[in-house]
Structure formats: C-alpha cells, structure tokens
Chains A and B, each alone.
Chain A
Amino acid sequence: MTTSCTFGEMMIAALTRTIADGTLVFHGFGSPLIQLAMHVAKRTHAPRMILVAGATYGVDPEPPFLAPTSNDWVMDRGASSSLGIEELFDLAAAGRMGRMFLSGLQIDRWGNCNVTALGYPNIKLKLPGGGGGCNLSCDAAHITLWTTAHRSPKDAKGQRRFRLVEDCDFITNLGHRTRDGQPAKELGHRGGGPQWLVTELGLFDFDADGHARLTAVYRDTSLDEVLENMGFTPRLAAKVETIPAPERSVVELIRRLDPLKVHEKEIRAEDLRREFAIT
C-alpha cells in the first residue's frame, strides 16, 4: 500500500485546493502541475468545474496520459467541445472565467509576475513571454500563482537571485498594485487578482492591501527557510499552518493521470527527493 507521496504530489494537492466547484477554470501551457491539479479537482471535490485545457481549448477533456507538450491531441481526447482562441479569451473578458493559474521568473509582493525579460528596457535575458497571461491576470475572477523555484541558493559570490523579488523588471501579469503603487482595483478590471501563491516552500494568500501573506509551510520547511529565500518580507498569518498531505486516493489518481511523470520536469532535483507520509 502507498504510504508516502512525493513533493510534486504534495504541491499538486495544494494547488487543487484552490479550485472551486461550479467554476470555469483554465490552464496555460508548460504547466503539468496545474493540468494535474485541475484534473484531480474535477475528479474529486469539483465535479461541476468546467475544465478548459490550455493550447487545445478542449472542454472537459480526459487525456489517456499527460503528454510532455500541451498542444497535443493526447490532451484534448474526450473533450465534449473545443473552443476557439477568441472564444476562450472572450469568456474571461466577459467575466465567465473563475480561475487561471500564472507564474513568472519574477514574482513580487503584490503578485505581479514577469515572464517577459530580465532587465528592461535593456534586456539581459529574454524570457519566453506570458502567452495570454497578461490579459487573463486582469480578466479572470481569481488567480492562483505558483512557482517551484522559491528556493534561491547562494551563488559563488554569496548572492541569491530571488524568484520572489522586491520589484519585477517588467510586469507581464498584473498583481494587486502597479509599478507606481496604484491599487489594481482602481483600474476597473474584471478580475480580483492573485488569491493564492503556492511555492515549494510555502503557501501564501494576499491580504486586504493585496500584499502576500504566508499562511502555511510544508512539514519539512521552516519559516526561516521561507523568509531567507525571498527578496521581500511577506506578512504572516496569525497562525502559520502546516500544508496537509493528500489522501491516498488522490496520490493514486495523480499516478494514473501522469504515468510518464511529466510533472517532475517542473520540479528541481532536490525537491524530487522530498517525501511525505500519507494516510
């Protein structure tokens, strides 16, 4: 009998808990952790969730396995319908999209994300770009942010290059405040902005000011570890909880959904070694 789960399964379960039943939820490409979280949610607590797959725009697909690329016919097998690109984004602009998942090479305290370039306007490193994330960060009702690179080990010079940064070089996806400090809610967007940030070290929500607030850590991470790996100081919930492990049935479901372990490509080697007891 399965008595433990991997860190990936732990994080998928944490992401799954951010999904509400009866809402339209969308994932982008290059994010198997999110694809799995959505498929787990649909098969557990959120059966009436509308699952729209990124890249294929298939509605409620049942892929036979997870492929290493999201625009693959594997990923929209069993879909009851398929949307056009314009229809998907129209849904969000019209306020019908309940949740979208976004990430970035830089994420700041307000949940702004940079997926465009490090260094701007003098570009040092060109990132792939955010796809439709910019639009959806404004239009989707709620956003779950995630990263598997919160941990920022010191380099040879003793410097850390943070993923959770003081300032984004470029704001690709909007968080709760603009670069000038203007609250995003004054802009009149459809969406409410980031609600959760799930990392390999902890779980954050965003307080009434829109500031990241640590609410939980994993069994094997500490508050100090969370804080020393960040370029800004998060606020702290009154009680910082421990992120619960998934139920055995959820772990087994994830293993059935992703037999090729495609999601492990998103996880660093040191985190692949983490193990959590399950009941």
Chain B
Amino acid sequence: MIFSLMGGEMSKTEPRPIYVDSDKRTGLDDLAAQVKDGSVVAVGGGLSSREPMALLRAILRRGVKGLTVVGSAHGIDIDLLSGGGAISRSSESYVGFEQDFGMAPNYRRALESGAVSVDDSCCYTLVQQLRAAIQGLPFLPIRSVRGTSFPSLHPEYKRMICPFTGEELLLVPAIEPEVALIHAQYGDAQGNLLIQGPPVADILFAKASREVLATVEEIVSTARLKELGGVSIPYFYVTAVSEVPMGAHPTACYPFYAYDRRHTVLYYEAARKGADAFLAEYLSVFVHGAPDHADYLAQIGGEKARARLSSWRDGAEAWKRLYMDEAMA
C-alpha cells in the first residue's frame, strides 16, 4: 500500500477489497473495535455537519492510540480526538471552529506540544491523493502548491516536467486511508449509504479507503433508500454499518437535527480552560462518563434536546429563532 504519510517505504498499490456480506449491521462498540491503533483514518463530514461523533466517542472509550487523521475542513471531531489522546499525526487541511469560536483548543495543544506531528495538507492536494488511490494509481499531478511552504513539509511531493507540454507539475502520492468513518442519514442492511446535503469528501473517502465504517440515523430497506434519494455510497465499499440516531451530535445531521451550538459552547469552554478541565468537565462526563450512546443522549437532555434541534423544520422563522436562542445562550 502507499503509505506516504509516515514518510516511509512506498510500495505498489495493492488491489482494493470489496465487501459482499448481505447483512453488515452491527453495534456501535463493535464498529469502533475495528479501528486499530496506528491506523490512517479519514473522518467524514465537515465543520459542524454530519461528523461521526458517536463513533469517535466510542473509539475514545476504547482507548485507541496513534491515529493519523486526513481530511479537509474539520472542527470538533478532530479536536475531540486530539483532546482524547487518540491521534499522533494530523494531515488535516483545517481544524477550527470558524469565526464563531476560533481556534481548536485541544488540537492546538496537541500539535504545539509535539504530541501530534504536524503534516498539514490542503483540500485539492488531498482530493488528488484520494483520487489516485481510487483509480489505483500511485500519484496524480497538480499545478498548484508550488511556491508555497507545503513542499518543505511534504518531501514526498515530487516535481516533474510534463512530457507533453513542458510545464512543471507537482506529483502527489496516493493516500489510501485504512479506514473511513462516515455518518450518513440513511443506510440499508447491506451497507448502501444515502447522504443528503453536501457530501463534503465522504464519497472520495469511502472509495479511497480500505474499510468504511458507517453509522446512520436510520437503517431502512433498499427500496425505501431509493425512494429517499438513491445510494450515495454503494454497499460494496462499506465494511459495517450501525444504526445510531443522533450519531452526529453535537454537529448537525439534517433533516433530523440542526447543529447544537449550545452544546458546542459548553464543549469549547471546557476545552479552552486546558487539558485537565477538558478531562474533568467534558471527557469524564460525555465520553468516559457515558458508557454507551443511550447514556450520552440522556446526558445531553434526551428527547427535549432532540425536539429543540429538530425545530428548524417549522420554517425559516423557527430556524432563525433556534439560532437566535443559541446566540443568546
């Protein structure tokens, strides 16, 4: 496999696996158990939407270590993994809380202390590296990036003169994550996934990775999946699937629920105060203090929280009011 992220040996791309079991349903903890220490992991979703948060909490509860994370635009997902000590290298393009809260506190601490190696990338570089893996190629060229500081951070990038046009191009090696962690709105027992709204990089992640571990809000029949909009990620890419309602919380999973800004405020305040406060006020309550997802849902306010976050459906004014309340909270 291509393993450029660690700067180690590069070998030829191996044929990619496919997954043909007719029933891939499993429990959340069994799903999390398939993520091994030291894996290269692509976390799906982006910023405040559809991040596989329940699966990440289950991974942290298992004490997984040494992950390399690759991705485009991320926030609380990678910050939580950083605060929980699961990561040793970050190849993300962005990890933060936009202008609303600012920099990601746990991520910053982990990278500034050296506990996590800095291996930053950029969205299109990552896209090309994933597309190389999807196509079974060792690399793809890009024109951009040359002239910036990224090549100094990534000695694995190579320059070449195009044999057709004579222009200089940058070659970026395939990235083949060992596992993609994806939360979708719907799936079926076979593992077909339907993502509604922006897929971010999830479809690329699913096709480039050796395994796809998915959580979904609802498992439905294949016929129902087609009625709801069709298949975004065909079943044969998917290793296992688990039905986890509110599985992206506190990020959004429309149409089921909006982004929980109130919970994010609580998270951010704990993270900002420092590693000890984050452990005591957040991890010990919402991750290690909630042994399973049902306990987590109870911790965040159960049905009342779910109803509050689904009130966006009542129209534009209700949607805005939800954010107005959040802004004043």
The interface of chain A, by Cβ under 8 A from chain B, is 29-32, 55-58, 64-65, 67-74, 76, 82, 84-86, 89, 92-93, 116-117, 120-121, 123-139, 170-174, 178-179, 182, 184, 187-190, 259-260, 262, 265-266
Bound complex: CA of A10 vs CA of B57, how far in Å?
A: 44
Selected contact of A128 from candidates B46, B94, B327, CB within 8 Å = B94
Selected contact of A55 from candidates B47, B95, B96, CB within 8 Å = B47
- Chain B residue, CB-CB nearest to A54: B73
Answer whether residue B1 sits at the interface, using C-beta atoms and an 8 A cutoff: no
Selected contact of A73 from candidates B93, B152, B254, CB within 8 Å = B254
- Identify which of residues 107-134 in chain B touch chain A, using a CB-to-CB cut-off of 8 Å: 107-108, 111-112, 118, 120, 122-125, 127, 131
Selected contact of B104 from candidates A71, A120, A128, A182, CB within 8 Å = A128
Residues in chain B near residue A126, CB distance under 8 A: 103, 107-108, 111-112, 118
Bound complex: CA of A111 vs CA of B252, how far in Å?
A: 36
Bound complex: CA of A260 vs CA of B122, how far in Å?
A: 31
Bound complex: CA of A172 vs CA of B94, how far in Å?
A: 12
Query: A138 contacts B147, CB within 8 Å?
Result: yes
CB distance from A87 to the nearest CB of B (A): 10
Give 20 A-B pairs besides A86-B127, A123-B118 with Cβ atoms closer than 8 angstroms.
A29-B47, A32-B99, A55-B200, A68-B261, A68-B327, A69-B49, A71-B200, A72-B49, A76-B197, A93-B143, A116-B120, A126-B107, A126-B112, A133-B122, A135-B123, A174-B148, A178-B147, A190-B144, A259-B320, A266-B99
Query: A29 contacts B108, CB within 8 Å?
Result: no
Residues in chain B near residue A123, CB distance under 8 A: 111-112, 118
* Interface residue SS majority, chain A: loop
Selected contact of A131 from candidates B123, B167, B197, B324, CB within 8 Å = B123
Query: A138 contacts B99, CB within 8 Å?
Result: no
- Identify which of residues 299-329 in chain B touch chain A, using a CB-to-CB cut-off of 8 Å: 312, 316, 319-320, 323-324, 326-327
Known: A65-B320, A188-B168. A71 touches B149 (CB 8 A): no
